Amino acid sequence: MTEIPPLPVRVPYNQAMATTLRIWHNCNRGLMERIAAGLRALDHPAGCRSQEPIHGYAHAHQVMGVHSGHRCPRYDLAVRYTQQARP
């Protein structure tokens, strides 16, 4: 029999997706716990990408409700808006 040549390997286009797929196919509990701990330790403002402007007093309260769990800069912006709207 002839030897089968190895399959060609290419660098993944999206490193984050390639890593995600490798993790999804992993059953190592220790690795999964380390990943979960790392995700919990992330800086919350970096994870919050909401940039929509505040459109009024009621909207500011909705924004505070959504962002109160992680106290990102958007939460502080909504608090300042409510304080300026009704001193």
Identify whether residues 60 and 77 lie together within a single domain.
yes
pLDDT of res. 46: 57
* Shared-domain flag, residues 84 and 54: yes
Predicted confidence (pLDDT) per residue in 7-30, tens digit: 777 777 888 888 877 777 777 788
Instruction: Determine, yes or no, domain membership for 80.
Output: yes
The answer as to whether 5 is a domain residue is: no
Whether residue 4 is contained in a domain is answered as no
Distances (CA, A) of 37 to 18, 20, 30: 20, 16, 11
Residue 1 is predicted with a pLDDT of 62
Residue 33 belongs to a domain: yes
Q: Is residue 21 in a domain?
A: yes
Residues 27-83 pLDDT 10s:
778 877 887 788 777 666 555 777 788 888 889 888 888 887 777 788 888 889 888
- The domain of 35 spans 13-42
Round to whole Å and give the CA distance between 45 and 72. Answer: 5
Q: How many domains does the chain have?
A: 2
pLDDT in the model for residue 47: 58
Q: Is residue 61 part of a domain?
A: yes
